[in-house]
Amino acid sequence: MIVGGQSLVTSPPVFSHDGKKLLVCTGCTVSVFSTTTGMLITELEGHTERVTSIVVVPVAGTVGTKFSDYCWTASLDGMIFYWDFSTPDLLKKVNVQLPVHSFVIPNILSASLGRSDKASQNLYAFISVEDANKEVENGKHLHGSIQIYDLTNSTRAGGVLAETHKPETLAISKSGEFVGIKKQKQLNIWRVPNKNLKSVNMKKLKLHHTRTLSCLAFHPTKCIVAAGDVSGRILIWRGFGKMRHSQDGGGKMKIDMGDRPGVRGEDDADSCSTWHWHSSEIKFLMFSSDEAYLFSGAKEGVIVVWQLDTGNKTYKPNIGSPLMYFTDSPDPSLSCVSCEDNQIHLLRMPSMDIIKSISGIKPPLILSELQGDRSRVTIGCDRSIGFVALPTKDYRIQFFSLLDGTDISHLQVIERNYDPVDETTVFISLVEVSDDGSMMSTVEEKLPEMGIGGLISLKFWIRGSHTGQYTLSTIIYEPHNNAGVSDMAFCPGRSMAVSTSYCGNFKVWVNNSSFIHSGDEIQEKGGWRCQSVSSYKEIPMTAAAFSGDGSVLAVAAETKITLWDPLNNVLVAIIGDSLGPIRQLAFVGSSEYIMSFSSGTKADLVVWNISNLSTHWSYKLLVEDICCTRSETRVAVLALLSSSDKSISTGKDGMVLVFDVENPIPVSTWFVKKAKGGRLSFINNKLGEATDGKLLLAYINGEHNYVLFDPSNVKEQEDLIPKSARRPQSYAHDENVSHGYASIYGELPSFDLTKARSSDSIPFVSSERPWETIFSGSSHALPPLSKLCSPFLESLLEKAEKQTVLSQ
Amino acid sequence: MYLQSPLPLGNCGTRLCFPYEELDVSDLNDWTPRPWLALQNPSEAVTRPPALSTEYTTKTKRSEAMMADEATRRVFPTEPASHLRPRSRSVKSLVSTPESSFWRTFRSSTLHPSYLHLPITSLSFSPNSSLLAAASSTSVRVFSSLSLSEYDPTLFATLPLPDLAYSPSFRCDGALIAAGCENGAVRVFDLPNDKPPKTLRRLNAHSCASRVVGFPLLDHKLRLFSAGDDALFVQWDLPTETPLFSVPGAHRDYIRAGAPSPVSPDVFVTGSYDHTVKIWDARVNSGTSSVLSINHGHPVESVLFLPSGGLVATAGGNTIKIWDVIAGGKPVYSVETHNKTVTALTLAKVRDDTRLLSVSIDGYLKSFDFSRFKITHSMRYPAPLLSVAFSPTGTIRVVGTNNGAMYMGIKKKKDEFEDQVGSDDFAWSVPLPEKPTSRKNIRYFKRGQSEKPSEGDFIIKRPEKVKLKEHDRLLRKFLHKDALVSVLKTQQTTSIMAVLEELVARRKLIKCISNLDNDELKLLLSFISKKATQPWCARFFMDLAKWVLEIRAEDIRSGGPEMAVHVRNLRSMVAHEIQVQRSLQEIQGMISPLLVIAGK
């Protein structure tokens, strides 16, 4: 079983202490990527719920050996784990019992688990937990709370620091001195005392603002905190907490209301300045490691670099997607930015060039303004190689390999500039890949403005020399006048395609082009032309499918299925009514059955017998997708459970059923989550020797998480989003890229004090070949050249003499 | 367990798909943030009170955000969908080669040396001065000052001849000129600068027209050769006016072509209407037999030694042939690109190379690269061409026609090579060795830049910079109305369509229309009223027209007579279209029963 497609951007990624690895929360696991190759090294598996935050243990100076890769991870399952992620081993489990949304360890430098002495401090963590069962107090639903937890002893240390409506993300300053959260319109900041960390003696500092805050960041050294709000403003408080934190004893606070520009009320800060450039909610704030700049990012997809002293700003390259998080690494020349389109870009720092991109499967297109059946954006699937073609927001198609879990390539479909701020008016509504992957068709739609200027165009693509490389063959504008294309199907074994439309006709397209290979590029003459147009009683055509040998074309005319001879454009037969308009058709292998399902209020799943034009069996199920094999009689059905079902409560809203087409009783059933918008496909398992080329069933859920499994092996009723079985792509040993000092000057020789001392004591013995060592040594220790010259020349002479002797 | 195969491409990500675009500094200047007031857009100001500047700020912000675009991402200018582009029937544009660009640097002019419209049978340039001799009618006219600045060459001298003049020829130092005549006389004139030309020698041997007269090319100033319609070939000693070497009956027909060898003063080639080309050597006094005889296959109109002296080019009929005389008259190449008889040949210096120019009755001048055996350029003239000459400096090209007109091309700007050519005859001068470039010279730093890639080289192209037009730039700054107005002013239908479609995609079209002021509205209305019923954009424009009329009804009503004209035009256009549709429906009604019957 292969699982993949997890979002890489649910939580901020974290760099390892040497900047060579990047730890990314991917669902229940933590994936460790190499920053030099951008590939997956290993995965930390153990959590049973989504991992929410990671804290990497920094190397503590003298004690740290070269291979100390330790980290803490927290998850929604209420566990905090301690890992050695180089091996990877789970070292320690701490049960917090409440779902942890965020946690930080302020004194991680001074206290280190395991290797530290008994005398040293306990390790404390600030955790942000969610307590859903908490009683309602004063009419407020305070689900989130901030607590301190003793990780060494696995006990809660003290009471609750703060309560929030929902669990908040904790921020910590680099030195570990301050910990803060945003709490609606205010910031709560705690100074962490060096010793005796108990919630009792924690002083809370509040900074107020008039709008809801969205993120915050601490300056690495100074008492400066920056916060962003939902309107795109950035607030910078300088010199916060001087009074409260300094007058720890509780002396009287004197606040001169005079020279504190921008500070609200009795907030404890010297000044507060506001910068405004972003037009939407600030997603991240981050101070640069040299303390001179502040980076901010929002929906625009541009990293704005603010000069901290002046407020001047510059803009760094447009990433082209809404930004989520920005993480800097211990290596000052490396940082990374996470984008909403499930990509993490590694940036070379001062210039912010993208070095590498770690990209996951693209999130599904969400078209808010599209209602009804038009909202269905289909994704293409290549059965032979096992990749899916997913339309993305920035007018491209991503080819994603399900078997490898990697992004193969991107194809620009619509030649338009993408701006993340714009609402979606142009989109790819349909992607269809032929069974062998050699042809692809895309349908793009431009929505009209007040009824003006809508445009639908159909594009045919031909595969190039590499997988996932397609070249544009033909563009057909308005293939069915201004009516939308409801479905596309490719004829197996022939370059023929059919497109059906809501205006009541379907067109058969043929490709009679010849290819001219000129160098690397394939030039094409001719292209796709319409061979025939047909309609059946002007009823909207909603789905199409070719039979396995390509001799029969089935087109659904709302509730009826019409069978055609695609070559001669002759109507062969009509099969009677389903309950609702048919959404999809599929021929079952080479058998005489055809399967259809319809959606809406009268949803059903029907298997029709072509030979006697009758219903074979049917279910009254709300089906999301069906999938048939080309050779066998197995069919897989993804059905949505109605809300009355019990399993909804567990989050599972759909099920995958595998039938043998002869028999209406399912062979096996699995319950799945997020089935709405899901997709099923059979994929040839070319890689696994164990399953001997058996077909794998791929299930992609509505959030584009996917699972590949052999339907005959996996036990029924099993949870279909299990732990990962992905193979790491690369191993740590293949990356010996030096950085920092070593990249410029090379590795320093390992300096061993004891050895150096011992060598002093050894008396100098002149070597056999003095010309090699005579000049070695530091320059001030060498005797003058005039003295050295004669022994050097002598040594050479000696050698010559010896040689002559030997030759004699 | 599944991942046994080697790794796939890895995370090629978004960035491998498109070539990097270089960040242009000028574009960056465009993007620098500016004060809000500078961006006050009159169009938007109509609808929004200036106090609420949130829209401006977002707009500016977005255009600023766009600025970071270029470095990593490709830019797509607005382009209309190709179905909206009217099919152009234009011919594929001619390919521009270095050769054609060279010939294009000539500025052409026409002049008529005589007003008799008599054919110009021969043209000749002086080897060392810019004198041009043209034989036409009964005189040889010598022109001077064929310089760049002056279009009209001044007449330098007219050489009187008793009958129709033929074949003027300058001596190698340019001091003397000789010409043949219809009655067979050959006369030699001198060309003093201040005095009228004087007849120095009269050479009488030919009984018929002496069509071919020529001085040797090499430094042999006292010799002259002539040949004529009486098939006599003579080499003269000038001072004594006596023939040194005379071949009566050299050919069996008129001799109409002849040329001296560039390597020996005693070797000549003649071509005749008896289809043969003969090579003569005055040192071999073997009676009437020639050194070499070649059959061209057509009556020979012109012969020429190529600069090496080992190849001979002959023109006759519509073919030009190249022969190797050293190899005993072996044909090397044959060119048949002219449609009619080729009348004259000459050599031309094109940059560093030498070309063979040929003119023909069909009115074409063709440039032939005899090192690669390829026609490199061809020019068309409106009359049959009889003669051609190319100045030794490589700056002037003259062709003579049969109606007395001379077409002259003068090179517009000086080439670097001009000065180097100097007074030597261009054709056989060895090009000077290239100056060693010093570090002070700009050429030192640019050396190798014009290097052309060889066959096996892998060429890395610099990514092409997307050229953005005015309306694209405005669109990138989100100044939608300004973009619409600017594109409407260009009157280019396809661009206007593209901008309108882009506005639709941005949901800004209706707002733009409502913000147009009256003049701009007129612009839009006039465009719509012209194009509304064009089939390829009708669906769009019908809806658009409806909206424009609906939104701006009051402005149109109060807009004055000009606006009314546009609306009237629109109405009449719609009425006309309805009529067309109706008649089309009638036709459809007639045809569809026929189709149904045919289908059965």
Locate all alpha helices (DSSP H) within A387-429, ordered by sequence: none
Alpha-carbon distance B66 to nearest alpha carbon in chain A (angstroms): 7
Alpha-carbon distance B486 to nearest alpha carbon in chain A (angstroms): 20
CA distance A41 to A21: 8
CB-based contact B58 A279, cutoff 8 Å: yes
DSSP A721-745: S-S--PPPSS-GGG-----THHHHH
pLDDT of residue B589: 93
- Where are any strands of DSSP class E within B421-478? none
**Residues whose CB falls within 8 Å of the CB of residue A96, separated by 6 or more in sequence, listed in order:** A74, A78, A79, A80, A127, A129, A149
pLDDT of residue B342: 92
Interface list for A 663-692 with B (CB within 8 A): 685, 687-690
Write the DSSP symbol of residue B72. Answer: T
DSSP B272-327: ETTSEEEEEETT---TT--SEEEE-SS-EEEEEE-TTSSEEEEEETTEEEEEETTT
**pLDDT confidence bin for A367, thresholds 50/70/90:** low
Nearest residue of B to residue A396, measured between CA atoms: B14
**pLDDT confidence bin for A722, thresholds 50/70/90:** very low
CB-based contact A300 B500, cutoff 8 Å: no
Nearest residue of A to residue B542, measured between CA atoms: A452
Note whether B430 contacts A: Cβ–Cβ < 8 A: no
Q: Is 70 exceeded by the pLDDT of residue A598?
A: yes
Chain A residues touching residue B67 (CB < 8 angstroms): 315
CA distance A639 to A745: 62
Nearest residue of B to residue A453, measured between CA atoms: B540
Number of C-beta neighbours around residue A779 at 10 A: 6
Write the DSSP symbol of residue B587. Answer: H
Q: Which two tokens stand for residue A35?
A: 């920053």
DSSP A139-158: TB---EEEEEEETTTTEEEE
Chain A residues touching residue B504 (CB < 8 angstroms): 425, 446, 448-449, 452-454
CB-based contact B10 A39, cutoff 8 Å: yes
Q: Which two tokens stand for residue A718?
A: 């099993």
pLDDT per residue as tens digits for the range B378-437:
888 888 899 999 888 888 888 888 888 888 888 876 544 444 444 444 444 455 566 666
Q: Which two tokens stand for residue B162?
A: 């008793």
Chain B residues touching residue A448 (CB < 8 angstroms): 504
Encode chain B (600 residues) as per-residue pLDDT tens digits: 333 333 333 333 333 333 333 333 333 333 333 333 333 333 333 333 333 334 444 556 566 655 554 445 567 777 665 555 545 444 444 556 777 788 888 877 777 655 567 888 888 888 877 788 888 778 888 887 555 444 455 667 788 788 888 888 888 888 888 999 888 888 898 887 777 788 888 888 888 888 899 888 877 788 889 998 888 888 888 888 888 888 888 888 899 899 998 888 888 899 999 999 999 888 876 666 788 889 988 999 999 998 888 899 999 988 999 999 888 888 888 988 888 899 999 998 887 788 899 999 988 999 998 888 888 888 888 888 999 998 888 888 888 888 888 888 888 765 444 444 444 444 444 555 666 666 777 777 777 777 787 878 888 877 777 788 888 888 888 888 888 999 888 888 888 888 888 888 888 888 888 888 888 888 888 888 888 777 777 888 888 888 888 888 888 888 788 888 888 888 898 899 899 999 999 999 999 999 888 876
CA distance B507 to B480: 10
Classified as helix, coil or strand, A48 is coil
Note whether B424 contacts A: Cβ–Cβ < 8 A: no
Interface list for B 505-564 with A (CB within 8 A): 505-510, 539-540, 543-544, 547
CB-based contact A417 B69, cutoff 8 Å: yes
CA distance A680 to A431: 15
Closest CA to A626 of A579, A653, A661, A651: A661
pLDDT per residue as tens digits for the range A105-115:
877 766 554 44
Phi, psi of A59 (to 5 degrees): -75, 125
Write the DSSP symbol of residue A449. Answer: B
Closest CA to A651 of A133, A50, A167, A3: A50
Classified as helix, coil or strand, B375 is strand
Note whether A142 contacts B: Cβ–Cβ < 8 A: no
Across-strand partners of A457?
A444, A477
Closest CA to B236 of B209, B211, B204: B204
**pLDDT confidence bin for A447, thresholds 50/70/90:** confident
Phi, psi of A794 (to 5 degrees): -60, -45
Buried/exposed B103-140: b ≥16 CB within 10 Å, e otherwise: beebeeeebebeeeebbbbbbbbbbbbbbbbbbbbbbb
Cβ proximity of B188 and B178 under 8 Å: yes
Prediction pTM value? 0.63
Share of chain A above pLDDT 70, in %: 75
CA distance A430 to A419: 21
Residues written for chain B: 600
pLDDT of residue B359: 92
- Lowest-pLDDT choice from A530-539, A789-798, B42-51, B248-257: B42-51
**pLDDT confidence bin for A755, thresholds 50/70/90:** very low
CA distance B97 to B100: 5
Number of C-beta neighbours around residue A85 at 10 A: 22
CB-based contact B4 A457, cutoff 8 Å: no
Buried/exposed A760-774: b ≥16 CB within 10 Å, e otherwise: eeeeeeeeeeeeeeb
Alpha-carbon distance B4 to nearest alpha carbon in chain A (angstroms): 7
pLDDT per residue as tens digits for the range A182-192:
888 888 888 87
Report long-range pairs for B349-355 (Cβ below 8 Å, ≥24 apart).
Answer: B349/B390, B349/B392, B349/B394, B349/B417, B349/B421, B349/B426, B349/B427, B350/B99, B350/B102, B350/B376, B350/B394, B351/B98, B351/B102, B351/B415, B351/B417, B352/B417, B352/B431, B354/B307, B354/B426, B354/B427
Cβ proximity of B424 and B453 under 8 Å: no
Cβ proximity of A94 and A120 under 8 Å: no
Interface list for A 378-437 with B (CB within 8 A): 396, 401, 403-404, 406-412, 415-417, 419, 421-423, 425-426
Sign for the CA dihedral angle at A405, A409, A415, A416 comes to positive
Closest CA to A427 of A402, A415, A408, A445: A445
Nearest residue of A to residue B58, measured between CA atoms: A279
CB nearest A318 (choices: B3, B8, B73):
B73
Alpha-carbon distance B543 to nearest alpha carbon in chain A (angstroms): 6
Chain A residues touching residue B64 (CB < 8 angstroms): 277, 302, 315
CB nearest B505 (choices: A345, A425, A729):
A425
* Angle subtended by helix axes B561-599 and B518-531, to nearest 10: 20
Note whether A483 contacts B: Cβ–Cβ < 8 A: no
CB nearest B64 (choices: A38, A315, A453):
A315
Q: A356: left (phi > 0), else alpha (psi -120 to 50), else beta?
A: beta
| Alpha-carbon torsion angle A609, A613, A614, A618, nearest 10 | 50
Cis check: omega of the bond before A540, within 30 degrees of 0: no
Residue B346 or residue A736, greater confidence: B346
pLDDT of residue A763: 45
Note whether B65 contacts A: Cβ–Cβ < 8 A: yes
Cβ proximity of A530 and A519 under 8 Å: no
Interface list for A 234-293 with B (CB within 8 A): 276-279
CB-based contact B79 A401, cutoff 8 Å: no
Q: How many CB pairs under 8 A join A and B?
A: 170
DSSP A516-549: EEETTEEEEES-EEEEEEEESTTPPEEEEEE-TT
CA-based Rg of chain B, rounded to a whole angstrom? 36
CA distance B265 to B284: 13
Largest CA distance in chain A: 112
B267, with CB counted inside 10 A (0-12, 13-18, 19+), is: buried
Chain B residues touching residue A314 (CB < 8 angstroms): none
CB-based contact B1 A685, cutoff 8 Å: no
DSSP A463-509: E-SSTT-EEEEEEEESEEEESPEEEEEEPTTSSEEEEEETTSEEEEE
Closest CA to A655 of A697, A694, A691, A699: A699
What is the complex's ipTM, to 2 decimals?
0.74
Note whether B468 contacts A: Cβ–Cβ < 8 A: no
pLDDT of residue A738: 47
Q: Is 60 exceeded by the pLDDT of residue A649?
A: no
Classified as helix, coil or strand, B591 is helix
